[in-house]
Amino acid sequence: MRDEESMRAATLRALLYVSRSTLASPEITAEIGDIVDCAIVRNRRLAITGALAFSGAHFTQYLEGTPDALGVIMGSIRGDRRHSDVVVLCVSACKSDPHLGDIGVQK
Ligand SMILES: Cc1cc2nc3c(=O)[nH]c(=O)nc-3n(C[C@H](O)[C@H](O)[C@H](O)COP(=O)(O)O)c2cc1C
C-alpha cells in the first residue's frame, strides 16, 4: 500500500444509523430507486462504501469513509424528508480497509 493510501486507511471511520421512513405506499419503489441511484454515484465520488437496509418502516445504513466525506453525506442524509428521527448508533475507526470494498450501494 502506498503511503497516502495507508494514511487514508488509518483515518477511515465506520458509521451506523437508523431512521424512520416517511415514505407512503405508491411512491416507495420509485423513491428507493432514486436514493440508490444517487448513492451509487455520489458515494463513489466521495470514496464512501456502505450498505442500506429498508424494513418498510425503518432504514439502517452502514457507511465507511473519511470523516470529511461522512460529514458531507450525513449532512445531506439528515436533511432528507424521505425519513426522520435519524439516530447515529455508533461511529468508530475502521479496523482495516473498507470491509465492503467496491460493493458500494447496489440495486
Ligand atoms: C435512508 C436514506 C439513505 C441515503 N443514503 C445516501 C447515500 O448513501 N449517499 C448519497 O449520496 N445519498 C443518500 N441519500 C440521499 C441523500 O439524502 C440526498 O438526497 C442526496 O445525497 C442529494 O444530496 P443533496 O440534496 O444535498 O444534493 C439517502 C437518503 C435516504 C432517505
Round to whole Å and give the CA distance between 31 and 37.
10
Residue 65 has pLDDT above 50, yes or no: yes
Burial class (CB in 10 A: 0-12, 13-18, 19+), 48: buried
Residue having the nearest C-alpha atom to atom 10 of ligand 1? 39
- Counting from 1 in the atom list of ligand 1, the atom nearest the Cα of 54 is 1
Residue having the nearest C-alpha atom to atom 31 of ligand 1? 82
Q: What is the structure's pLDDT at 106?
A: 52
Please give the grid coordinates belonging to residue 57: 418502516
Which range, of 43-57, 71-85, 88-102, averages the lowest pLDDT? 88-102
Task: Kindly list the structural domains of the chain, giving each domain's residue range(s) and its CATH number in brackets, ordered by start.
Answer: 3-93 (3.30.70.100)
The binding-site residues of ligand 1, defined as CB within 6 angstroms of any ligand atom, are 19, 35, 38-39, 42-43, 50, 52, 59, 61, 73, 76-77, 80, 82-83, 105
Q: What is the structure's pLDDT at 96?
A: 62
